[in-house]
Structure 1
Amino acid sequence: MKRITLSLIAILISAAAFAQQTILLNDSWVFRQFDSQDTWLPAKVPGSVHTDLFANGKIPNPFLGCNNMQVSWIDSVDWEYRSVFDIPDSFNNRELELVFDGLDTHADVFLNTVKILRANNMFRRCAVSCTNIVRNRGNELRIVFHSSIKVVDSLAAMMPFRLPGGEWAYVRKAAYHFGWDWGPRFVTCGIWKPIYLRIKPKVAVENIAFVTLNANPQQATMLASFNLVGNADVLTIKVVDLDYNKDYLNKKIRANGDEVDVKFTVDNPKLWWPNGMGNQNLSRFKIMIYADSELVYSKIHEVGIRTVRLVSEPDSIGQSFYLEVNGRPMFAKGANLIPPNFFVHSISDSAWIRMADLAAQSNFNMLRVWGGGVYAPDAFMEECTRKGILVWHDFMFACSMYPYDSVFQANVREEAIQQVKRLRKHTSLALWCGNNEVDEGWHNWGWQNQLTSFVEAPNELWGGYQQLFHELLPSVVARYDSTRCYWPSSPMFGWGNPKSMTHGDSHYWGVWWGREPIERYLQKVPRFMSEYGFQGAPSVHVMQLFNDGKNMPDSAQLLCHQKHPVGYQTINEFLQREGFKPNNLYEWVESSQMLQAQGYAHAIEAQRLSSPYCMGTLYWQLNDCWPVVSWSSVDYEGNWKRVQHYVKNLYKPVIAGAYLSDSMLVVKAVSDSINPVSASISTLIKDVNGNQIAQYKWAVGLKPNVAVEVGKVPLNRKLMTRNDIYLDISIYFDNKKHFESVYYFTRMPHKTILQMDKMVQRLREKVKPEQGMQIDTK
């Protein structure tokens, strides 16, 4: 109770101080199409033009039916937002500034008709001095948002050639807004984060972070870093451990520059561990900072003491890729994360938090924040820290070459500095990655062939790529977040290159894009699988909400909610291969979810049972941003697809699997527990009526992250060809069953497989959504 009370008091004091110094300007906004005589309509801030138009009844719900195809006109025009506000007398004769936490994207900002800002980056925070412009009453704040499509065309016209990849590359805006193979195209605009007027402090401390330089159970060396805004000659920095009432730091230093670093040591620290490897111990450090004897900062920080290192080194196979936490190798288990709603302003902190909770509930220890979305909010990172979920965080670059001029790179540098400084404080942050699939696109997707008419273009573009991803971004990480590792591009090699299986991380898409059989996952095992996947339908309820009543997924509405060009054809081709013959929409949903679950099961088992050769599996993707047929394991409404139950089971600390080798069924097991495990493994051959045909048992000792062969089960030809039998594998230790899995010997009819799917059948776990523009279910 003492801990909660102290934290609450600190929050209340901080909030009260903030309120006295700031005016939040999120109310009383109106909007209309720019340079028109249209009536001003009420707007919500934070918000976007699409959600504001929908709230005012000007467009239909773009998430329903084929409405997403009817609103493309919105992104081709400019929009303006307007608000009028007063300031209190206490703000008189003070130095004031307007702070814009997020404008999407290209905008001119006017205060009392004076242009004070030209914004051009969705991911940047902007602060503008306005002391001589603001007045006590009737201040007009007006923001004109320029069409991103027009901006793209204008910037592209200034170059002699079009950038290979996507049009999003020209603007610093979420790439998925331009449409993806799992999401719609709404190139929206608006005030997507708060705006406030504040009294500019004489001296302020910002972006404070506690990071671990080195640690063991006996001692840890910590670094406190922060930005100093304003002028001060002498700083006094005090750090107190509230749990042990111990002073760790009481030091005076000369203020020298805006970035301040101080070290201190902690004896006998309780280390923080990822989910499944140990406890998520958090130390409570209270830091007080005095500038020339005046207290300018005082706050309690909950800090996990741990070290994380990316080990990517040449070896006898190729080049390793794994994370080492507190000196111990970790097998990464998780998924890729996209924004939980297309319109990111409408995603509450609780919705982001539920993503971290879902991961922990499903035995994850890692999530990858994908580079085509947005930078993760602090609330999500904090919950990942509490739940033991490490975060691989891409910078926001994906699937395109990017401009290489000095203006663009200067814009990116400021973006990167702001985001690195903001996120470095989080214990959960493990790794920075420069981009998603840009290196692969350049070498494998024919981009260079698009430039054959421009002799100098390939060298210029690749030189710009090197500057951005091998110089600029790693230099920012090294300067402001030196304890985190940087990886330039994911994957290291494309899935068509043999080195993708032996070097670094891999995105293997042969099973989906290449239409290779699901069993290919058993052979295609890389050192670290950071992307792979197979599509599956959302719940029947979600499908029915955007369907026109037809029985199968070939109606116009269902096609509008499948953004992969041949998504339905690919699913149906695999259903036919695997012997599924759905007769109606319900059976099609069930069959596609079973097919997806089987695909992920093959991949995860093969990867985990190949450790330490393979040391990570992050499937694509955990969630959806709107109702759609996609690779997600949880649909837009929060319903668990069948695959999520499979993943939860296969991400348990100790698992076993089986595969056929000639006439033998080989059983393997692995543990990712940090301590050795002694287990008993039982295999039962049964028929669908529950009759036991044979049983085998083994005792096995498992070392951390070392897969071992447990035993072999002989199979005669008669057993191998029967389609009514299956293998049940169970693992027991600590006097209870910890794992169970089922294996089929042949492809079996749809209804038989559903009957045998006893672990997940009729389970309907759901994460209650809290998202904007929900489907109207009434």
Structure 2
Amino acid sequence: MFRTTLHGWYLRAAGGQVPDFLVDRRLPAQVPGSTHLDLMAAGVIADPYLDRNEEELAWAHRVDWHYSTVFHAAAPRPGERVELAFDGIDTVATVVLNGKVLGDTANMHRGYRFDAGESLRDGVNELVVMLRSALTYAEQMEARLGWRQRAYPHPYNAIRKMACSFGWDWGPDLQTAGIWKPVRLERWDTARLVQVRPLVTVDADGTGRVEVHLELDRAQERAYTVVASVDDHEEHVLVSGDTATVTILVPNARLWWPVGYGDQPLYDLTVTLLDGGEPVDAARRRIGFRTVTVDTGPDEFGTAFTFVVNGKRIFAKGANWIPDDHFLTRITRERIARRVDQAVGANMNMLRVWGGGIYETDDFYDICDERGVLVWQDFPFACAFYAEEEPLRGEVEAEARQNVVRLVAHPSLVLWNGNNENLPAHADWGWQDGLRGRTWGLGYYTELLPRIVAELDPTRPYAPGSPYSPGQLPPNDADHGTRHEWDVWNAVDYSHYRDVVPRFCAEFGFQGPPTWATLTRWIHDEPMTPTSPAFLAHQKAEDGNGKLHRGLAAHLPVPADFEDWHWATQLNQARAVAVGIEHFRSWWPRTAGALMWQLNDCWPVTSWAAVDSDERLKPLYYAVKHAFAPRLLSVQPRHGIPMLIAVNDDDEPWTPEVLVTRQTFAGDVLATAEIRLTVHPRATVQVYLPDDLLKPADVAGEVLVAATAGARTHHLFAEDRDLAYDPMPLTADIAAVAGGYRIDVRATSFARDIAVLADKVAPDAVVDDMLVSLPAGHSHRFLVRTDATLTQPSALLDPRVLRCANTLASRT
């Protein structure tokens, strides 16, 4: 097998609504890449993420493009097979080699192979990929198949392309186009491995079992030998047809575990195709031995939804994942590793790859394998109805088959999910009236996709959708299956998270702006306000600012000063999500998962993300880190009164002695209790508190504090806006240390949610912790990492950098 990656590409606008400045221009192009990136590299357009530039690029939605390259090759020898392999084209294209059409593409989510044997010639060859406007094509397909409801204006549901490419309530409407994965010329005259599909399981006696299912493409009809090995375990099979299976047994296999439950040993699987003893093709995979199921059995509460890995029930702590950059080809393996490490750093063990994006790259799953992060994988259907007729149906089946086979080896992948929110769209959103008998995707979710998963990957569970409740129940029923909780944010205060006890909450979240350094890098309104033009261009949610305002006003005064507003809305976002997480965790094992929306951003935007598009940690990130801590103390309402809840997400028992005090903000202790707890591994306990702890003499000036070594929580008796906070409750000292600065903070009065917004001083600065609350007399040390040598380190102590809730909420 001989493979050559093709380089040296050029781009030109070839049709549609071509602007004058692109007529007759031929620009260098990168493959993998996209048209926007090539135009930026050539200086033809400004960065679409900057200010309001996105709005100026709507013309690109209607342009057709040609990518072209020339390469040298030899004409095929007698009996030799030659193919052009495209791992990914975005999206609608005709492939032409030396003036002859090889074929067409209409699906971003799959690869294509074209027979080039009759078109390839000795010497110079010209390859042209003619891309059509995805929007124009989608409109034509919609006219052909019939209109179907969707959440956003463009017909993203009529084309197999990343849905959020057409805009979302956190993403730009740029509608990328390009060759987004590598292109290769492949030639062979014996045989090649078309498919290597390892099904990895563990026998009851601990033996690891690898069933490698193979498909061959044979240029010569003779027998070949396949050698498959895992470490020093090797098996051979003689293949006389186009398919074969070889099974490798690994005694006493070391088990792969989610992070926090054990180690993540990975084994190398190598498959070599031999012709007469000589290797002609090979494939390599990294595998991990583990079992996974989802308990969906009935119980006294309804219907469970609990992941079970290696026989152990798991509380899924995690987040939803969207593409980490709208321009997908800029996402490097190193960037993904940083993002997954941030998830692990926030005590997460699961990421849900959301259905409006893509099947992620191999790098993503490799890194999750290494880190022990469980992956819930949506098939790419989101917030829309989808036609089940051709040609869409054939593309759906082809992409599903390709990607199930591509991803089957990864131990991190633990669930295939049929779609995002399309079931409640049909049942609850009032959309079915517009269907008039047309198909809407149900056959994909209940027939086609589960059949493909059962055939190609029977080692993993499948769910028809998210949210999903079995039988004839409403899809978003809290007592059955998975739930999305969006009344909070859309309609009610975040305290209402506590009104519902879901079995598994797969989406919930609250908005906040990006960090100050990211915001001011990309938006340059003068003055900048929540309603200034460029700021609003980066707020995509319907009535987003109105919801931010109403959500904030229930707890804190809404500041008039923009910098204060920025901090206040970030703080409110963090608190809202933390309330949800702590509530859901307090109900384990009835509630078995909390996946907040969302971990990451794809461009600079006011959004639900914990990590913004410049990779900076928002205050929300630290709140999530605290709320997902392995050992958690939380005060939660039960039976009409506050109760102390202890959560132990560890394999060892937790036996803390908790000191609980009711004290004034000035630190005077008014009531106290010492409570000895025994919290079994992976368990929760709830404790009634003495009445004198729960009856403040001054609701505006007292706080309940519960603390033990390694865990602390507090409970206030009124909202911040009604509390008599000391507006200046902190003293602080700063000193230079290796790699940055140490800030020692001491509270002279109760200080809530202390933060160091270090990126305001140095764009690369990162603080180790944030949103730390201190009773009077207590102290905390913050470490700020930065490569910058600050001429005035005291800038990190500026009141707009060293912040807390007190300055926002204190009475005047």
What is the TM-score of this pair, normalised by structure 1? 0.88
Asked if 1:473 is matched to 2:458, the reply is: no
Is the contact made by 1:236 and 1:250 (CA closer than 8 Å) also made in structure 2?
A: no
2:173 aligned to which of 160, 165, 185: 185
Distance (whole Å) between structure 1 residues aligned to residue 227 and residue 83 of structure 2? 30
2:45 aligned to which of 47, 53, 59: 59
Aligned to 1:384: 368
Aligned to 1:700: 677
Distance (whole Å) between structure 2 residues aligned to residue 520 and residue 757 of structure 1? 25
Deviation at 1:137, TM superposition (A): 2.8
Asked if 1:538 is matched to 2:532, the reply is: no
Aligned to 1:262: 246
Aligned to 2:129: 143
Is the contact made by 1:308 and 1:484 (CA closer than 8 Å) also made in structure 2?
A: yes
Is the contact made by 1:663 and 1:715 (CA closer than 8 Å) also made in structure 2?
A: no
Aligned to 1:14: none
Is the contact made by 2:230 and 2:269 (CA closer than 8 Å) also made in structure 1?
A: yes
Q: Which secondary structure does the structure 1 equivalent of 2:298 belong to?
A: coil
Deviation at 1:550, TM superposition (A): 2.1
Deviation at 1:22, TM superposition (A): 2.2
Asked if 1:312 is matched to 2:288, the reply is: no
Aligned to 2:156: 168
2:15 aligned to which of 9, 18, 34: 34
Pick which of 694-703 and 129-138 moved more: 694-703
1:357 aligned to which of 341, 354, 362: 341
Is the contact made by 1:103 and 1:193 (CA closer than 8 Å) also made in structure 2?
A: yes
Matches within 5 A, 1:432-447: 432-447=416-431
1:556 aligned to which of 519, 523, 533: 533
Structure 1: gaps of 5 or more residues: 1-17, 770-778
Deviation at 1:663, TM superposition (A): 8.5
Q: Which secondary structure does the structure 2 equivalent of 1:500 belong to?
A: coil
Aligned to 1:224: 212
1:411 aligned to which of 395, 400, 405: 395
Q: Which secondary structure does the structure 2 equivalent of 1:103 belong to?
A: coil
If asked which structure has higher relative contact order (CA below 8 Å, sep 6+), I would say 1
Matches within 5 A, 1:323-362: 323-362=307-346
Asked if 1:461 is matched to 2:445, the reply is: no
Asked if 1:250 is matched to 2:235, the reply is: yes
Pick which of 743-752 and 139-148 moved more: 743-752
Distance (whole Å) between structure 1 residues aligned to residue 690 and residue 620 of structure 2? 27
Q: Which secondary structure does the structure 1 equivalent of 2:557 belong to?
A: coil
- Amino acid across the alignment from 1:439: L
Matches within 5 A, 1:570-719: 570-660=547-637, 664-715=641-692, 719=696
State percent identity of aligned pairs.
Answer: 32
Pick which of 714-723 and 643-652 moved more: 714-723
- Amino acid across the alignment from 2:200: T
Deviation at 1:293, TM superposition (A): 4.1
Distance (whole Å) between structure 1 residues aligned to residue 28 and residue 475 of structure 2? 56
Is the contact made by 1:303 and 1:427 (CA closer than 8 Å) also made in structure 2?
A: yes
Is the contact made by 1:642 and 1:760 (CA closer than 8 Å) also made in structure 2?
A: no
Aligned to 1:112: 98
Pick which of 186-195 and 34-43 moved more: 34-43
1:382–1:711 distance in 2 versus 1, CA, 3 Å: same
Aligned to 1:762: 756
Deviation at 1:255, TM superposition (A): 4.4
Distance (whole Å) between structure 2 residues aligned to residue 633 and residue 369 of structure 1? 16
Deviation at 1:692, TM superposition (A): 4.2
Deviation at 1:760, TM superposition (A): 5.6
Deviation at 1:523, TM superposition (A): 1.8
Distance (whole Å) between structure 2 residues aligned to residue 281 and residue 636 of structure 1? 32
Is the contact made by 2:408 and 2:457 (CA closer than 8 Å) also made in structure 1?
A: yes
1:126 aligned to which of 112, 136, 161: 112
Q: Which secondary structure does the structure 1 equivalent of 2:720 belong to?
A: coil
2:495 aligned to which of 496, 519, 534: 519
Is the contact made by 1:205 and 1:226 (CA closer than 8 Å) also made in structure 2?
A: yes
1:512–1:88 distance in 2 versus 1, CA, 3 Å: same
User: Which digits, 9 at most, give the CA deviation of each residue in 1:675-725, with x for residues without a partner?
Assistant: 443333333434444444444332222234432113414247862753333
Is the contact made by 2:235 and 2:248 (CA closer than 8 Å) also made in structure 1?
A: no
Q: Which secondary structure does the structure 2 equivalent of 1:512 belong to?
A: helix
Distance (whole Å) between structure 2 residues aligned to residue 575 and residue 359 of structure 1? 26
- Amino acid across the alignment from 2:51: G
Distance (whole Å) between structure 2 residues aligned to residue 754 and residue 178 of structure 1? 47
Pick which of 759-768 and 21-30 moved more: 759-768
Is the contact made by 1:232 and 1:292 (CA closer than 8 Å) also made in structure 2?
A: no
Distance (whole Å) between structure 2 residues aligned to residue 275 and residue 597 of structure 1? 24
Is the contact made by 1:311 and 1:323 (CA closer than 8 Å) also made in structure 2?
A: yes
Pick which of 273-282 and 330-339 moved more: 273-282
1:46–1:670 distance in 2 versus 1, CA, 3 Å: same
Asked if 1:729 is matched to 2:701, the reply is: no
Asked if 1:25 is matched to 2:13, the reply is: no
1:198 aligned to which of 186, 197, 201: 186
Q: Which secondary structure does the structure 1 equivalent of 2:391 belong to?
A: helix
Distance (whole Å) between structure 2 residues aligned to residue 28 and residue 687 of structure 1? 70
1:389–1:661 distance in 2 versus 1, CA, 3 Å: closer
1:241–1:543 distance in 2 versus 1, CA, 3 Å: closer
Is the contact made by 1:78 and 1:144 (CA closer than 8 Å) also made in structure 2?
A: yes
Aligned to 2:404: 420
Aligned to 1:97: 83
Aligned to 2:546: 569
Distance (whole Å) between structure 1 residues aligned to residue 230 and residue 523 of structure 2? 54
1:208–1:361 distance in 2 versus 1, CA, 3 Å: farther
Deviation at 1:131, TM superposition (A): 1.7
Aligned to 2:732: none
Deviation at 1:316, TM superposition (A): 2.5
Deviation at 1:292, TM superposition (A): 5.7
Is the contact made by 1:551 and 1:584 (CA closer than 8 Å) also made in structure 2?
A: no
Aligned to 1:3: none
Distance (whole Å) between structure 1 residues aligned to residue 701 and residue 77 of structure 2? 79
Structure 2: gaps of 5 or more residues: 730-749, 766-812
1:348–1:74 distance in 2 versus 1, CA, 3 Å: same
Is the contact made by 1:354 and 1:767 (CA closer than 8 Å) also made in structure 2?
A: no
Is the contact made by 1:720 and 1:746 (CA closer than 8 Å) also made in structure 2?
A: no
1:289–1:135 distance in 2 versus 1, CA, 3 Å: closer
Aligned to 1:13: none
Is the contact made by 1:164 and 1:450 (CA closer than 8 Å) also made in structure 2?
A: no
Is the contact made by 1:48 and 1:188 (CA closer than 8 Å) also made in structure 2?
A: yes
Deviation at 1:344, TM superposition (A): 0.8
Pick which of 558-567 and 264-273 moved more: 264-273
Aligned to 2:717: 745
1:676–1:296 distance in 2 versus 1, CA, 3 Å: farther
Distance (whole Å) between structure 2 residues aligned to residue 525 and residue 691 of structure 1? 37
User: Which digits, 9 at most, give the CA deviation of each residue in 1:435-463, with x for residues without a partner?
Assistant: 10111111111211224xx4xx2xx425x
Pick which of 639-648 and 345-354 moved more: 345-354
Distance (whole Å) between structure 2 residues aligned to residue 194 and residue 250 of structure 1? 32
Distance (whole Å) between structure 1 residues aligned to residue 214 and residue 469 of structure 2? 37
Deviation at 1:615, TM superposition (A): 0.2
Asked if 1:399 is matched to 2:383, the reply is: yes
Distance (whole Å) between structure 2 residues aligned to residue 90 and residue 232 of structure 1? 18
Q: Which secondary structure does the structure 2 equivalent of 1:469 belong to?
A: helix
Q: Which secondary structure does the structure 2 equivalent of 1:570 belong to?
A: helix
Is the contact made by 2:52 and 2:534 (CA closer than 8 Å) also made in structure 1?
A: yes
Distance (whole Å) between structure 1 residues aligned to residue 649 and residue 167 of structure 2? 38
- Amino acid across the alignment from 2:15: F
Aligned to 2:796: none
Aligned to 1:773: none
Is the contact made by 1:234 and 1:252 (CA closer than 8 Å) also made in structure 2?
A: no
1:301–1:697 distance in 2 versus 1, CA, 3 Å: farther
Pick which of 700-709 and 660-669 moved more: 660-669
CA RMSD in angstroms, aligned pairs only: 2.8
What is the TM-score of this pair, normalised by structure 2? 0.84
Aligned to 1:84: 70
Distance (whole Å) between structure 2 residues aligned to residue 483 and residue 398 of structure 1? 25
